[in-house]
Amino acid sequence: MQWARGMNALTFSRRRFLGVGAGTMAAMAATQADSVFRGYGAHAGVHDPCTDGRVVRTVCELCFWKCGIQAHVLRNHVTKIQGSPLHPLSLGRLCPRGTGGGGLAHDPDRLVRPLVRVGPRGSERFEAVSWEVALGTIAEKLEVIRRRHGPEAVAMFNHGAGASWFKHLFRAWGTNNIAAPSFAQCRGPRDVAFDLTFGAEPGSPETLDIAASDCLVLIGSHLGENMHNTQVQEFADFVAKGGDLIVVDPRFSVAASKARTWLPIRPGTDTALLLAWIHVLITEGRYQREYIERYAQGFDELARHVAPFTPEWAAAETSLDPELIRSTARRMGAAAPAALVHPGRHATWYGADDTQRSRAIAILDALLGAWGHRGGIFVPAGMRLAPYPTPPYPSARPAADRRPGEAPFALEPIAQGLRRATLDSDPYPVKAWFVYGTNLIQSLPQKAETIRAIQSLDLLVAVDVIPAEIVGYADVVLPEASYLERYDDLIGLSWRRGAVALRQPAIPPLGDSKPGWWIAKKLGERLGLGAYFPWRDIDDYLEERCRRSNLDLATLKRDGVIVGPERASTVEEGLALSFHTPSAKIELSSERLRERGFDALPVYRRPADPPAGFFRLLYGRAPAQTFGRTANNRQLGELTHGDRLWLNASAAARLGVRNGDRVRMINQDGARSEPVAVKVTQRIRADCVFLPHGWGHTARGLRYARGKGVDDGDMITRVDVDPVMGGTGMRGNFVSIEREG
Amino acid sequence: MRRVMIIDESRCVGCEACVLACKNENDVPEGMYRDWVTQEARGTFPELSLSIRSERCNHCQDAPCVTNCPTGASHYRGDGTVQINRALCTGCRACIAACPYGARFVHPDGYVDKCTLCVHRLDRGQGTACEEVCPTQAIAVGDADDPTSEVARRMRRASLYVLQPEAATRPNVAYVR
């Protein structure tokens, strides 16, 4: 058989469900949800569709922001989802993806039975088996791998809050090869740069005091197209109060359209602009002098370093007006310390330059006094969460992702490094991948390498909700209950006030899918790791953790969140600043980088220009999509797909391409894309094209997403690795455009 | 009481959460919409502007759909909103032809459907689904006759405008920039 499907093939539309549903259930539901007219007298015809069901307060999983939500449930169907008014990240409001979460839970393509592969890897041919057989098969193969190669021959890749059970399982098993593409393929450079500079990361969610800021600078961050709920809420307040918004982007993004100044920069030259801004702030004395004297070290070296980087110098690199570079720096300085250069999130752009570019942002934020000030970057409060006691983890060999001396500042194992070690067994063999919630075929660049590594494995296990591409390569597929159907571990939030949130089921698991906590415990017991899973069930686990953390589980279940006490998060509120760097100061110049042979201060390196006839390929977000995870969501499919390739209007005219035409991209290495529709627009420079990320699915099981749009990953055959932390810069790829006959 | 919706374009980021919240709240069939978002870019690179609007039935005070409805199904509710009585609607589409805003469609069950301004929610003291979900608070609904309301505050702004003023429909849905 092919993909096992749910017995209740619930589609996203209740109406259609009612139409095709079987017998009594449909009839009962129809009474409930159809044609309810309330007493409106002369104005009959006001129809109440009755979508207000039983409300469950839980935590969203449509992206990593983890907003609190209210799921309305009628007869085991999630009819609608709202932002929880009690949760500090949603404040009663929600983005489109979270609103469409029911489209994930009720996806007719859901994985609902454990599967064992029967065809070659990647053939997507499976046989449905019992959990007994699935877990037994995995345990048996893992034991063989342990005997032959040791426990560290198992690598675990993950994304999302639900991964905690499996991280625990594999630490107990004895491997350090636990990686998330969210580091080396996404926010890693930024986290490392802020850690090197301030001794702390900007956090997730980023602790940005946007609403209180007077000047906000976005470097490629397209708030509003990436819909991080709280941040977009604050962004709208900032815009509404007339805050000074400066947007640097080769594309006229939604955020750029709201800016006082849009700087359509030549892609890849951001560091030049940042150095020039630093130059202006320092040479004109517009930085926060007292703050720098008190909290920072390395200022004199910085001042000498940036002396040559005048706006005129930067203008030649960035293609921007030097006077505009100067005046925007002055505006930041005037607003400081209530001024903020957004640290960004997806920062793996150009490889060699990425940590250094993020360092330049951090230095600029330091000169503006942003860290710790109102309207800048606030210092969050957390809440103490005691663990459920389990035995200590066994000691394990260092992760295989890096060779000695490689990427010394990586804060987490590097996902593509584990792929490399799988292929060359250096420093030791990696023979099994356990993949939770991340579609490695799309989330790692250089797809062919990933598939080659997979074909060399002794075991590939995928835990997922939908049959993404990675699932098609797995030997054993474990169907997880969706986020609306399961408990997860307590979710801590570091924010203005700390908080703890609970993900809890609104509806029962579909088919034979199981929650992650159950899967990890059952597999752990089969692997002889039962001592690491001493809890009877999830209630026992949560009760005990709450008891030890002084939290009331009943309150958590009722409200979905418990918010901690008020605490000062800025200097204005009485916070005393401290910095967890070696010098206990903000490190403008970084001795740590210097010691390892890197530039102690950011150096600009000019990026390669696109060859004649080529465009630089940029990619980013569309508001209704998160990575490739949402493309099969039929509710979100009702919104603007954003799966078109943006092409500048004059470039399009030169190529004879009209709006809506289908084209193929051919990259510098000859890789050809599937056909994609073009959005001809004035809203982008003529030297680059822009493709929203997350489309181009090929998995047969994703019946809805398959064939829609193209995957930017197919064009990312070249990757420049950041030597500081191992990030994969993915914007060094160029494409030419060929019209489809 | 005159219920109005005033949408602040400057806040809107075009995320379409309003579209999905409406579809879920009102069980709007696949491929049909009671509200939608338009984006219109003007100018030539790099001198550009972008207008983003969440649009829907304008709940006109001089509503061509009501005038043209042969059965009285389309009617003024008396609270500023325009409603359709499904029991009276024959699906003849006269209102669809008359509406200058393209706000109406024929529901698969045979009647004409459109935004109700979520009066089933407003009557319970809730906001409209689109208003409540909106992460940027671009959408405000309230009583134009109450000078202390958010909508009244927005209506005092100089940038207040309505869609297709030449149609002289006197909409109760309006925009500020």
What pLDDT is attached to residue A37? 43
User: A270 Cβ partners below 8 Å, 6+ apart?
Assistant: A219, A220, A248, A318, A357, A360
**Are the beta carbons of B48 and A16 separated by less than 8 Å?**
no
Structural domains of chain B sorted by starting position, each given as residue range(s) with its CATH number in brackets: 3-176 (3.30.70.20)
Cβ–Cβ below 8 Å for A682 and B13: no
User: Which residues in chain A are closer than 8 Å to B16, comparing Cβ atoms?
Assistant: 96, 623-624, 639-640
pLDDT surpasses 70 at A502: yes
Determine, for residues A686 and B45 on separate chains, whether the beta-carbon distance falls below 8 Å: yes
pLDDT at A13 over 90: no
Cβ-nearest to A232 among B13, B29, B41: B13
CB contact under 8 A, B116 and A47: yes
Q: How far apart are CA A482 and CA A440, in angstroms?
A: 19
ipTM of the complex: 0.97
Q: How far apart are CA B107 and CA B30, in angstroms?
A: 10
Rounded Cα gap, residues A305 and A599, in angstroms: 11
pLDDT tens digits, A364-378: 999 999 999 999 999
Closest chain B residue by Cα to residue A69? B133
Architecture of domain A109-180+412-480+515-534: 3-Layer(aba) Sandwich (3.40)
Contacts of A153 (CB under 8 A, 6+ apart): A145, A146, A175, A428, A429, A430, A431, A432
Residue A381 pairs in a beta bridge with: A495
pLDDT (mean) for A534-551: 98
pLDDT in tens, chain B (177 residues): 999 999 999 999 999 999 999 999 999 999 999 999 999 999 999 999 999 999 999 999 999 999 999 999 999 999 999 999 999 999 999 999 999 999 999 999 999 999 999 999 999 999 999 999 999 999 999 999 999 999 999 999 999 999 999 999 999 999 999
Instruction: Give the Cα separation of B63 and B94 in Å (integer).
Output: 13
Peptide bond into A337 cis (omega under 30): yes
- The Cα–Cα gap between A636 and B44 comes to 31
What is residue A704's DSSP assignment? T
Evaluate if residue A288 carries a pLDDT over 90.
yes
Q: How many CB atoms lie within 10 A of CB A483?
A: 26
**Residue A304 backbone dihedrals phi, psi, to 5 degrees:** -65, -40
Q: Is the pLDDT of residue A683 over 60?
A: yes
Confidence band of A641 (pLDDT split at 50, 70, 90): confident
Q: What is the pLDDT of residue A44?
A: 55
| CATH architecture label of A200-380+579-595 | 3-Layer(aba) Sandwich (3.40)
A428, A399 Cβ separation under 8 angstroms: no
C-alpha to C-alpha distance for B14 and A373, rounded to whole angstroms: 31
Q: Which CATH class is domain A14-105?
A: mainly beta
What is the signed CA dihedral for A280, A286, A292, A296, rounded to 10 degrees?
-10
CA distances from residue B105 to A498, B91, B96, B164 in whole angstroms, order as listed: 47, 9, 7, 20
Cα distances (angstroms) measured from residue A686 to each of A112, A195, A321, A617, A653: 47, 36, 18, 11, 11
Q: What percent of chain A has pLDDT over 70?
A: 94
Residue A621 φ then ψ, to 5°: -105, 150
| A contacts of B17 (beta carbons < 8 Å) | 94-96, 99, 227
Q: What is the CA radius of gyration of chain A?
A: 26
Backbone dihedral angles phi then psi of residue A403, each to the nearest 5 degrees: -80, 165
Architecture in CATH for domain A615-739: Beta Barrel (2.40)
A248 part of contact set with chain B, CB < 8 Å = no
pLDDT at A247: 98
Q: What is the pLDDT of residue A22?
A: 35
Residue B10 has its nearest CB partner, among A51, A240, A635, at: A240
* Contacts with B118 from chain A: Cβ below 8 Å: none
> Does A648 touch chain B if contact means CB atoms closer than 8 Å?
yes
Interatomic CA distance for residues A721 and A409, integer angstroms: 13
pLDDT in tens, A684-693: 999 999 999 9
Q: Looking at this protein, which amino acid is placed at residue A201?
A: E
Q: How far apart are CA A67 and CA A581, in angstroms?
A: 31
pLDDT in tens, A23-74: 333 333 333 333 344 444 444 567 888 888 999 999 999 999 999 999 999 9
Q: What is the largest CA-CA distance in chain B?
A: 53
Q: Are A640 and B37 a contacting pair at CB < 8 A?
A: yes
**CB A155 within 8 Å of CB A430:** yes
Point out the residue among B11, B16, B73 whose CB comes nearest to the CB of A624: B16
| In chain A, where the domains are located | 14-105, 109-180+412-480+515-534, 200-380+579-595, 615-739
Q: How confident is the prediction for chain A on average, in pLDDT?
A: 93
- Which chain B positions have a beta carbon within 8 Å of A96's beta carbon? 15-17, 19-20
Q: Averaged over A290-300, what is the pLDDT?
A: 98
H helix runs in A392-507, sequence order: 415-424, 440-443, 447-455
Does this model's pTM top 0.80? My answer is yes
Cβ contact A240–B43 (<8 Å):
no
What's the pLDDT score for residue A57? 98
Residue A707 has pLDDT above 80, yes or no: yes
Is A15 in CB contact (< 8 Å) with chain B?
Answer: yes
**Mean pLDDT of the A399-413 span:** 96
Spell out which residues of chain B touch residue A99, defining contact as CB-CB under 8 Å: 17, 20-21, 24, 133
Beta-carbon contacts below 8 Å between A and B: 174
pLDDT in tens, A723-735: 999 999 999 999 9
Which residue's entry shows tokens 């815009």? A239
Q: Give the per-residue SS3 of A78-114.
A: EEEEEECCCCCCCCCCCCHHHHCCHHHHCCCCCCCCC
Q: Per-residue confidence at A428, pLDDT binned at 50, 70, 90?
A: very high
Contact (CB, 8 A) for A229 and A83: yes
Contact (CB<8Å) B119/A685: no
Tell me the C-alpha distance between A630 and A639, whole Å.
12
The reply to whether residue A240 touches residue B88, judged by beta carbons under 8 angstroms, is no
Q: For residues A277-285, give the mean pLDDT.
A: 98
A15-24, A146-155, A216-225: which range is least confident on average?
A: A15-24
